[in-house]
A and B are shown apart, each in its own frame.
Chain A
């Protein structure tokens, strides 16, 4: 497992006071959407909770998906239960985090020679319509060729018809952070950049964890009545460390990002192997994904390959012929925590989740694993897990996670009045409210301390200095990559050209870093951005990257700066 980044000793000591051994009712290992969801649910039901994440919230699978709480349309054929659960919970998530959601209208064009003709596709959508009301979705519409090409001009001339349907997109990074924030506000202790190094055992039972802060290197232990393994694709390894067995068949998926929105709809396309892939508008970009391949590599070192990218382009260009002319800005890789099954091809593996009570299975008391599922089912997974914990710890508390709003989701935001009140451009407040909901006021209050904080650091989104300061102060951001997850910093067409060094200086100011640490933070983020850029570095993006190279390597002299920082420490981000 990678040792992460660099030591911010001083800051660390000022925040946490370690007391050696602590007692909790529940320790949740893993800060993805399920782990943060379990921590929230447990904390809301009155348990004392410690949430431990080795990297950052949404740093793994939860941050590398298509950002949808879709109803699981594609599981309808072989996994109806997942579709229904997804739709019901999608409805709940809309209630608790309305600010994080955006509607994504889909269009499924039918091509001559497709495996499904339009009648079949429409029948399929009719079946899906039954579930749409659970999630406030619209029913399907069948479009003629002319209608389809009118609403989505990018479609191929060779389509024979199309059917629309409706899904919801979400900001998965904010979803995880909001869950962690809510857990913390209900009394949970939340630690990121803290790796669990082992499980404490007592006569076969798991009674706690030993951990290490990856910044300071400080080791500590904590005891708990229940330890929850919510490590996603890492769950198998984590369970093994506790002497338990969880068998996964991890599936790697990549998503490619294009500059800006290139289609009105999310456009479904059939890949060469008959799988369905999609291009869809996502925030201020277009996302193309995703692949699904058995993964046998190192979960901590994912790299997209030429073949994976070409597979997606080949599929999409059939229905959306101009796709190769558009500008790819980034590729993102993730691994699905799919449950193990023999014989099935990857695409047909179930997306259902499973709760492993290791006391019942292997006699390991105090240890639970929750794994599988999908983004849209995280809340129900957390609820089932917490139900089991309640049963074990003798609590009758009921789940309220589908009723109580997540932080910032308690009310609608009047963008115009807030923009006028704080003297900020509308588009800045609009994007801020999307991420922070009603709490965008708390963010903008920082501009009252110092007006400089009103300036835009990342123009691609935009992200203000105030937002960067806010997420460092209130949302556990300790690296620029952490800031990126919470704010979308450096995720636009320039991929961190203008914002990196400025954000590093702000991070340094907030965390009281000395200049060499600030250079390290900048160099680490430069590498982090590069990781998703180099596999798709082609087309027009080469010119953008030439500018980035001029800023950081000609003028900024970062090759020399990188030498001055600890190369090994930032190479693995």
Chain B
């Protein structure tokens, strides 16, 4: 086992981890990031939820257009355990917004343009036939903002054999929802289905299959021609495609389609494997490498918090050592961004629910010494049944469980004392918020990642 020294070591290669690594690099010093198997960030829809529309979530009357910064003030009152609220002790809402801007800036530097604004919600369609509100998204998705449907003449293009995306249903359902939410339907909305060359007889194409096919110049060309033929004479202002317009060459595919069709082109978020999510992770990884961050492909096995220098044991193939081996990496600061259940940052063994047998409940997997909390209290030993409710539409406490942190993002032990001066947490391993129902997953990852790296 050999020792390597970095000023910052980030464990976990999701949106929070890369944001932390990039901001730490910006702050100066040598940075390494351990990125193992893909986690929840690789499943990102490309829509960046930063904060829920508080009027909707908390059932209170609010002015229509709440800005991000106004919303931060509301959250700090209503959700005291939310990382936004905890960070509010040290940072102003404007600073938090700057953290999100910084994440968007990183994506732009990596070649992924984004769209949206901090003072309003866009209304974005998805392949479930519903719509959701978000302030930011990848530009290819943000361009589909249904701000004024009455002015949109929309052609929804489906792909033959890619049946998870039903353009007819998305059109009908989207129109009905637009009427409910905006009070007006689309000026025009039609559905088409177009075959991808080479896949005409496929019944069950996946997102990545379509995206990889469209990466081929020749296939995209033929595809664009067919689309143009289909929508000819329809006087559409926009064409919408499933978010599968290229994996490697998405910029060329999307701009090429828009140019050839002569109208706006946007993508509609689809299911996993999510092509936008893969694009985001690829982009962040290559940006990190470009900026001189050491990206280690491996798994952190343990964090040594015994003395002043903090260190992690890494296993697996690494870009540093070439061959799979165990290595010990010492760092001035370790940022744990290992995610929740998908990422594996938090686990619950089935055995953990046997209370008679002293079940452990939810555990933090890397250090094993940071308690997992719900609303500030460790959940150790309790049955999981206490953290779920029988109605699916109601909030489920289990999805707000996570590590408690202080305003410096240091994880806290059961007594509320930082576990280690130089240990930080970022992303969804931090509890106190439900990333899905709270509509704040990407925002919380970016904000906590940014401050954890910058501190």
User: B351 an interface residue at 8 Å Cβ cutoff?
Assistant: yes
Note all chain A residues with C-beta closer than 8 A to B128: 501, 522, 551-552, 555-556, 558
- Enumerate B385-437 residues with CB–CB distance to A below 8 Å: 385, 388-393, 396, 398-399, 434-437
Question: Does residue B318 face the partner (Cβ distance < 8 Å to A)?
Answer: no
B296 within 8 A of A: no
* Residues 168 to 199 of chain B near chain A (Cβ within 8 Å): 169, 172-173, 175-177, 180
Complex CA–CA separation, A518 to B56 (angstroms): 22
Closest chain A residue to B123, Cβ basis:
A557
With contacts A546-B340, A557-B133 known, what are 12 further pairs, Cβ within 8 A?
Answer: A451-B203, A452-B163, A498-B164, A515-B173, A518-B173, A531-B390, A534-B392, A537-B398, A538-B353, A549-B396, A554-B49, A571-B391
Contacts of B389 in A (CB 8 A): 534
8 Å CB interface, A336-373 against B = none
Return the CB mask of B202-216 against A: 1 if under 8 Å, else 0: 011000000000000
Chain A residues contacting B441 (CB-CB under 8 Å) are 550, 554
Measured CB to CB, the closest approach of chain B to A489, in angstroms, equals 15
Q: Is A514 an interface residue (CB 8 A)?
A: yes
The answer to whether B132 has its CB under 8 Å from any CB of chain A is yes
* B129 lies within 8 A of chain A by Cβ: yes
- Chain B residues with Cβ below 8 Å from A545 are 341
Complex partner residue of B393 from A518, A547, A558, CB under 8 angstroms: A558
Q: How far is the CA of A561 from the CA of B399 in the complex (A)?
A: 20
Give the docked Cα–Cα distance between A309 and B385 (Å). Answer: 11
Could you say which residues of chain A place their CB within 8 Å of the CB of B349? 324-325, 539
- Which of A455, A502, A516, A554 is in CB contact (< 8 Å) with B439? A554
| B387 and chain A: residue at smallest CB distance | A537
Question: B73 to chain A: closest CB distance in Å?
Answer: 23
- Which residues of A lie under 8 Å from residue B85 when comparing CB positions? none
Q: Is A560 an interface residue (CB 8 A)?
A: yes
B249 to chain A, nearest CB (A): 25
Which one of A328, A454, A543, A547 has the highest number of Cβ atoms from chain B below 10 Å of its Cβ? A543
Q: Let me know if B130 and A519 touch, CB within 8 A.
A: yes
Given A515-B177, A558-B393; A538-B348 close (CB under 8 Å) = yes
Bound-complex Cα distance A526 to B40 (A): 21
| A554-B45, A556-B130, A556-B132 as given contacts; A502 in contact with B163, CB under 8 Å | yes
Chain B residue with Cβ nearest A465:
B163
B161 interface hit (Cβ, 8 Å):
yes
29 residue pairs from A and B, CB less than 8 Å apart: A305-B385, A306-B385, A314-B354, A325-B349, A325-B350, A452-B163, A454-B203, A455-B161, A501-B127, A502-B166, A514-B176, A515-B129, A527-B392, A530-B390, A534-B392, A535-B385, A538-B352, A547-B342, A549-B399, A550-B441, A554-B45, A554-B132, A554-B436, A554-B437, A554-B441, A556-B126, A557-B130, A557-B131, A557-B133
- Which of the listed residues B47, B390, B392 has the most CB atoms from chain A within 10 Å of its own CB? B392
Are B204 and A455 neighbours in the complex by a CB distance under 8 Å?
A: yes
**A510–B356 alpha-carbon span in the complex (Å):** 51
- Cβ–Cβ contact B172 & A534, under 8 A: no
Interface residues of B in 298-356 (CB under 8 A from A): 340-342, 344, 348-356
Q: Does B226 contact A (CB under 8 A)?
A: no
Assess A505 versus B169: contact at CB under 8 Å? Given A547-B43, A549-B437: yes
Q: How far is the CB of B44 from chain A (nearest CB, A)?
A: 9
**Given known A-B contacts A554-B435, A571-B391, A505 and B176 have beta carbons under 8 A apart:** no
Of B126, B133, B163, B350, the residue contacting A326 (CB under 8 A) is B350
Q: Are B436 and A549 in contact (CB under 8 A)?
A: yes
Would you call B435 and A561 a contact (CB within 8 A)?
no
B385–A546 contact, CB under 8 A? no
**Most B-side CB within 10 Å, residue of A502, A539, A554, A556:** A554
Q: Which size bracket describes the interface of B in this complex? A: 35 or more
- B162–chain A nearest beta-carbon distance, Å: 9
Alpha-carbon separation in the docked complex, A529 to B392 (Å): 9
- Measured CB to CB, the residues of B under 8 A from A are 40, 43, 45, 47, 49, 56, 126-133, 161, 163-164, 166, 169, 172-173, 175-177, 180, 201, 203-204, 269, 271-272, 340-342, 344, 348-356, 383-385, 388-393, 396, 398-399, 434-437, 439, 441
List A residues at the B interface (Cβ < 8 Å): 303, 305-306, 309-310, 313-314, 324-326, 328, 423, 451-452, 454-457, 465, 498, 501-502, 505, 508-509, 514-516, 518-519, 522-523, 526-527, 529-531, 534-535, 537-539, 542-543, 545-547, 549-564, 567, 571
Asked if A546 and B342 sit within 8 Å, CB to CB, the answer is yes
B172 and A515: CB pair below 8 A? yes
B382 shortest CB reach to chain A, Å: 10
* Cα-based distance from A566 to B249 in the complex (angstroms): 44
Flag if A456 contacts B204 (CB, 8 Å).
yes
- Complex: how many Å from CA A177 to CA B99? 58
Cα distance A455–B132 in the bound complex, in angstroms: 27
The docked-state distance in angstroms from the alpha carbon of A309 to that of B388 is: 16
Q: Which residues of B contact A465 (CB under 8 A)?
A: 163
The minimal Cβ–Cβ distance linking B297 to chain A, given in whole angstroms, is 21
Complex CA–CA separation, A564 to B129 (angstroms):
14
B426 → chain A closest CB, angstroms: 18
Chain A's closest residue to B47 (CB) is A555
Chain A residues whose CB sits within 8 angstroms of the CB of B56 once the complex forms: 560
Partner of A538, one of B166, B340, B350, B399: B350
